[in-house]
Structure 1
């Protein structure tokens, strides 16, 4: 059997107003971790100041403040400076976001089983939920 130690990893940037995510966002992430859908490997809060500067907080240093006390953050530091800079460009001045490095546990199992049978995922592309819902809604209106 070809069980991988880690499965595919995805960067997820969750924007919010202020300096900390809304309790609903925190609970949604906690639920995904509890249900075994994902494993949070790293997390960084990125803020763009009104002047345009970028400030970061390593969540590893205060997991309970961000609802990730049970997450483990197994690979804290996986989000490199270049990753943080890239995602920070998406932020408007005066806003913040939490950059989550998420291991997709369902995909880990799939990748392990495919490797065992000589197959491999060679491409994958995510379509954001708002886009899918918009397309489905407009198709229903035709």
Structure 2
């Protein structure tokens, strides 16, 4: 007997409550909501829609799609960044090698100038040193 009463009670508890909701504005302009109609005129019944529920399987499928999209974007970004960093590293290596060549040229020209040449030869070496020094400054110091 108790089991039957308990089952009936559980079924009654799980039945959704269906009450009307009323809305009215009082003399001061405040808006009120209630489940019992007021004794005033000018109240309106409000229809409340049932909440939208999405089955768990739909949520799981949607989250799987989002996860796959994120993974594909991460793969694209990762591969592009690898290529970009590889290119940047290669460019940096080429720049370092070119800077080393400029530095070696400047050292060689400086040694030749110290050896003492005639004015014509010395002027040519100084002009060459200026050019190489400008290239070194533009490509290696300012960048």
Query: Structure 1 length as normaliser, TM-score?
Result: 0.20
User: Relative to total residues, which structure has the larger helix share, 1 or 2?
Assistant: 2
User: Relative to total residues, which structure has the larger strand share, 1 or 2?
Assistant: 1
Query: Structure 2 length as normaliser, TM-score?
Result: 0.20
